[in-house]
Copies of this chain bind each other. A is one copy, B any other.
């Protein structure tokens, strides 16, 4: 297992995703002899996990069963331990395409946060790209570096613990793309520019408030970035259900000629039968999906 390469079988040292049920998953570090407690009982790693195929249905001690899934950046995003607000897959997918990431891309990112986006970037730029990620919070930088190792993607990433607004990304003229998720992205725009290739590239800044977006757009324009564009992407999940709709009873229709007996049968007068029709429908999200942030994209043109 690695976050950039599939394996068929679970091995000692892997990180596996235990799927307990709809929207209920947990990551498990697979270790010989170890045990993991789930709501369906204990999972014994040596017997229940190691050597089995990813995707297997595994019976826990209490008789309940779980599925053990191969990790992906997307499963990691929904199961990772939060140390900060994180980016979710809807935004990540958009960022990946709009930054034109692909195998071989060199990317700079700050802040690393809980590493949700970092894993997705690494998946896309492997096996020949590199991620330079800058996190000013020391504890977080150390933790995420440890996770990169466990997920076997550490050869693709350099974690720096510094202040991107003051110290930049620690590299110059190498990046195809830069991503900013910091409180004052406008202070890092010149560093983003410096980190990028002479030929140019793409930059993205994520901010929850429109005021941050405005200052960032100004800084981007000042630094000569082009095609500055701000978007927001919201996800709607449609829950598929069988709905049951009562049918109105307008009373019997006197214009419809019926035999006395037939009428007696179809309308027993005292307790009208409540008819319903069933159909498949999607239940729209109860709330309009929540705002996460605005994504501002821009292109760095060629500089001499």
Indicate whether A264 reaches chain B with its CB closer than 8 angstroms.
no
Indicate whether A211 reaches chain B with its CB closer than 8 angstroms.
yes
Instruction: List chain B residues, Cβ under 8 A from A211.
Output: 214
Q: How far is the CA of A44 from the CA of B214 in the complex (A)?
A: 58
Indicate whether A269 reaches chain B with its CB closer than 8 angstroms.
no
Indicate whether A221 reaches chain B with its CB closer than 8 angstroms.
no
- What's the least CB distance linking A142 to chain B, in Å? 39
What string of 1s and 0s marks CB contacts (under 8 Å) between A210-222 and chain B? Answer: 1100100000000
The DSSP consensus for interface residues of chain A is: helix
Across the interface, name the chain B residue whose C-beta is closest to A210.
B210
Chain A residues within 8 Å of chain B by Cβ, number: 3
Across the interface, name the chain B residue whose C-beta is closest to A213.
B210
Instruction: List chain B residues, Cβ under 8 A from A210.
Output: 210, 214
- What's the least CB distance linking A221 to chain B, in Å? 14
Instruction: List chain B residues, Cβ under 8 A from A214.
Output: 210-211
Q: How far is the CA of A214 from the CA of B213 in the complex (A)?
A: 13
What string of 1s and 0s marks CB contacts (under 8 Å) between A188-218 and chain B? Answer: 0000000000000000000000110010000
Q: How far is the CA of A210 from the CA of B214 in the complex (A)?
A: 10
Q: How far is the CA of A211 from the CA of B217 in the complex (A)?
A: 13
Q: How far is the CA of A187 from the CA of B210 in the complex (A)?
A: 22
- What's the least CB distance linking A94 to chain B, in Å? 14
- What's the least CB distance linking A229 to chain B, in Å? 14
- What's the least CB distance linking A203 to chain B, in Å? 21
Across the interface, name the chain B residue whose C-beta is closest to A211.
B214
Across the interface, name the chain B residue whose C-beta is closest to A230.
B210
Give the 3 A-B residue pairs with the shortest CB-CB distance, closest first.
A210-B210, A211-B214, A210-B214
Q: 3 A-B residue contacts at CB 8 Å?
A: A210-B210, A210-B214, A211-B214
